[in-house]
Amino acid sequence: MLPALPGSALAHNVSEQAKQRMLDGNYFDFAMVGAEHMLTGYDHLLFLLGVMFFLRSFTDIVKFITAFTVGHTISLIFATQAGITANPYLIDAVIALTVIYKAFENLDGFRRCFKRAAPSLLLMVFVFGLIHGFGLSARLQQMTLAKDPNLIGKVIAFNVGVELGQIAALTLMTLVVRAWRETSVWTAASRIANGALIAAGLYLFVFQIVSYARTQDSVARTASGALVQSTVIKG
């Protein structure tokens, strides 16, 4: 399924229409674009699915999702306010690695491969929340004016939209996983599903690295062309 998805969706690009809504719109528009961004952010959704996979109680679900939410809220607001960013493709490549990590942990990979227990899941989910929030910030900074006097309020509105989108996605995931857990094929199917998460994470990682390399090559060619043109004019 993933290979059939358009490159723009995988890279978290936002349509020109959505960008214009954010430049010209109000807080509600920012919230709507935030929800849309979460629901089309396949790597974010895959990571959340990995987190949800073996959580049984409502208390555990709230605890881990709260840790993730707090993490990405902190980095989203702080990085956007401070103007801290990085190449979005590289950030998304790291996010893809978080998907692989969670699926590997779900498969008891640490005990099987390293003969040790996995690091604290609650701490790792919080750290990964920080990374995902940084990724959202990088995209948000591409979509809006950095010197907007209402930037902080709009970032908060964007984050509210992200949370609403996350709640909608988690609700569906919870219902599906709970129904799936009641079937006789749960044990085998869960292994296959987490193996598929690793494959999807690897695909996304390679896609982002290749996209980064292409953008760097394009930048280098543009700079080289400009240098040649400047030299010809001077000559």
Mean pLDDT across the chain? 82
Residue 155 confidence (pLDDT) above 50: yes
Residue 225 has what pLDDT? 61
Q: How confident is the model at residue 100 (pLDDT cuts 50, 70, 90)?
A: very high
Which has the minimum average pLDDT: 38-42, 63-67, 131-135, 203-207? Answer: 38-42
Residue 231 has what pLDDT? 57
Residue 147 has what pLDDT? 66
Residue 7 has what pLDDT? 45
Q: Which domain holds residue 83?
A: 2-234
Alpha-carbon distances of 91 from 127, 182, 184, rounded to whole Å: 14, 37, 39
Residue 106 has what pLDDT? 94
Does residue 140 contact residue 75 with C-beta atoms inside 8 Å?
A: no
Based on the number of CB atoms within 10 Å of its own CB, is 89 exposed (0-12), middle (13-18) or buried (19 or more)?
Answer: buried
Q: How confident is the model at residue 9 (pLDDT cuts 50, 70, 90)?
A: very low
Q: How confident is the model at residue 182 (pLDDT cuts 50, 70, 90)?
A: confident
Q: What is the pTM of this model?
A: 0.81
Structurally, how many domains does the chain consist of? 1
Virtual torsion, Cα 47, 48, 54, 59, nearest 10 deg: 150
Residue 1 has what pLDDT? 40
Residue 10 confidence (pLDDT) above 60: no
